[in-house]
Amino acid sequence: MEKVALMDFSYEELCAFVVEELGESKFRADQIGQWLYRGAEIEEMKNLSKDLRAKLSDRCIVGGVKIVKTLKSQHDDTQKFLFELRDGELIEGVLMGYHHGHTLCMSTQVGCRMGCAFCASTLDGLVRNLTAGEMLSQIVAVNKELGGGRHVDNIVLMGSGEPFDNYDQVVSMLRRLNEKNSVGIGLRNVSLSTCGLIPGIDRFKKEGLPVTLCLSLHAPNDQIRNKIMPVSCAYNIKDTIAAFARYIDETGRRGIIEYSLISGVNDSVECAAELSRLLRGLRVHVNVIALNPVKERDLNAPTAARVQAFLKELENRHISATRRRLMGEDIEGACGQLRHKTKQEQNA
Ligand code: SF4
């Protein structure tokens, strides 16, 4: 009989499994749930009988990911984690320390098929989707690594993968963040970043989840966006911004525009002016970040003066914008870099 992954069960599903399949009480399901979200192995579940632990070992798998490498930045509070999945695949996450707590940048897929020119996650294409349990396990593993308890306060779905390309599992994970015994993260502490899959944006706004939506825009027009983001060939910038505006209107949440400045590509003052015109009247904030270069790509970060001039132009045109700190630059901070490098070393 194939073993079931307990982390893939919602609270209700776990209760049903424990009562109907294992013949135990709902109280036991609660105990198991508490252990699961502490990242415990079956043999560590000491308040369960030996008999029940044996049944669990026979029928179930606990945990979804384990941390196999941790890199700590010398410059800031950032830590990068390489997670191994049960099938040996690798994903990564970045933990950033802010004054308002710890934010974990999580992956939603192994690899990504979106092909953005500045991103290491897409270098090997999409390998597979993550399950909701594997996503939650990233938070559990980091909490455990930091000493147990609930250390991760906020999550951003901005690691490897396009969340709307794994829609059902991502939404299932979001619904489970704050259920009984889980990781205790409210949806207002969640940001989801999309490269602009319009059907996903329109569907997501109907879910009733108060999540901040971030649009990876990175260009003020179709000509530039087509060069660096293949998704732009399927969904033009005008329609993408319109879908984003519908999400903002319907949810009442302020939207975030992500804009990585790439030297000589999208970083001119004219680009800033065009971006301002595109965003005029929208309740958005622009996060401007200098590119964290990926070795395999021939794209570079602009000078600090150019970044400053870009921001100044947005400010002059009354667009709310800040320069996001480049965190973890010394620890393969760009999305997908650590996984790609480790895979290459494994295959050498
Ligand atoms: S930036 Fe995001 S959507 Fe684009 S390739 Fe990387 S992971 Fe995929």
pLDDT, tens only, 258-303: 999 999 999 999 999 999 999 999 999 999 999 988 888 889 999 9
Section 17-41 average pLDDT: 96
Ligand 1 centre distance from Cα of residue 115 (Å):
7
pLDDT, residue 228, reads 97
Q: State whether 72 and 10 are in the same domain.
A: no
Residues making up the chain, counted from first to last: 348
Q: pLDDT band for position 254 (50/70/90)?
A: very high
Q: State whether 83 and 186 are in the same domain.
A: yes
pLDDT, residue 154, reads 96
pLDDT, residue 85, reads 97
Ligand 1 centre distance from Cα of residue 180 (Å):
32
Output 295 or 343, whichever has higher pLDDT.
Answer: 295
Q: Is the dihedral of CA 221, 237, 250, 105 positive or negative?
A: negative
Q: State whether 251 and 288 are in the same domain.
A: yes
Residue 250 among the catalytic residues: no
The domain spanning residue 104 has which CATH number?
3.20.20.70
Across-strand partners of 67?
83
Section 57-67 average pLDDT: 93
Section 321-344 average pLDDT: 71
Running DSSP on this structure, what letter comes out for residue 331? Answer: G
Among 16, 39, 61, the domain boundary falls at 61
117 with 103: CB under 8 angstroms? no
Q: State whether 214 and 338 are in the same domain.
A: yes
Q: pLDDT band for position 77 (50/70/90)?
A: confident
Q: State whether 94 and 180 are in the same domain.
A: yes
Output 272 or 348, whichever has higher pLDDT.
Answer: 272
Among 61, 76, 100, the domain boundary falls at 61
Q: What global pTM score does this model have?
A: 0.94
Q: Given ligand 1 and candidates 91, 92, 114, 225, which is best to mutate, with the most ligand atoms within 8 Å of its CB?
A: 114
Number of domains in the chain: 2
Section 25-34 average pLDDT: 97
Instruction: Enumerate the H helices of the chain as residue ranges.
Output: 11-16, 26-36, 50-59, 132-145, 167-176, 198-204, 222-228, 231-234, 237-251, 269-279, 304-316, 337-347
Given a cut of 80, whether residue 347 has pLDDT beyond it is no
44: containing domain: 4-61
Q: State whether 56 and 89 are in the same domain.
A: no
Q: Which of 84, 77, 133 is nearest to 346 (CA)?
A: 84
Q: pLDDT band for position 326 (50/70/90)?
A: low
The domain spanning residue 32 has which CATH number?
1.10.150.530
Q: State whether 32 and 176 are in the same domain.
A: no
Over residues 95-144, the pLDDT tens digits come to 998 888 899 999 999 999 999 999 999 998 999 999 999 999 999 999 99
Section 76-93 average pLDDT: 93
Among 25, 40, 61, the domain boundary falls at 61
Minimum-distance ligand 1 atom for the alpha carbon of 229 = 4
Over residues 186-233, the pLDDT tens digits come to 999 999 999 999 999 999 999 999 999 999 999 999 999 999 999 999
Q: Given ligand 1 and candidates 91, 112, 130, 339, which is best to mutate, with the most ligand atoms within 8 Å of its CB?
A: 112
